[in-house]
Amino acid sequence: MLQIKCPCCGPRDHDEFRYAGDASVGRPAHTDADFERWYRYVFVRENPAGAHREYWQHVMGCRQWLIVERNTVNHTILSVNFSRGTPA
Q: Which chain residues interact with another protein by CB under 8 A?
A: 1-3, 18, 20, 23, 27, 30-35, 38-39, 41-43, 55, 57, 59, 63-65, 74-76, 82-85
- In the complex, minimum distance from the CB of residue 46 to another protein, in angstroms, rounded to a whole number: 18
47 versus 85: smaller Cβ distance to another protein: 85
1 versus 47: smaller Cβ distance to another protein: 1
DSSP 8-class letter at 55: E
- In the complex, minimum distance from the CB of residue 10 to another protein, in angstroms, rounded to a whole number: 14
Name the 3-class secondary structure at 81.
Answer: strand
Give Cβ neighbours of residue 33 (< 8 Å, ≥ 6 apart): none
36 dihedral zone (left: phi>0; alpha: psi -120 to 50; beta): alpha
31 versus 47: smaller Cβ distance to another protein: 31
Residue spans of alpha helices (H) in 1-88? 35-43
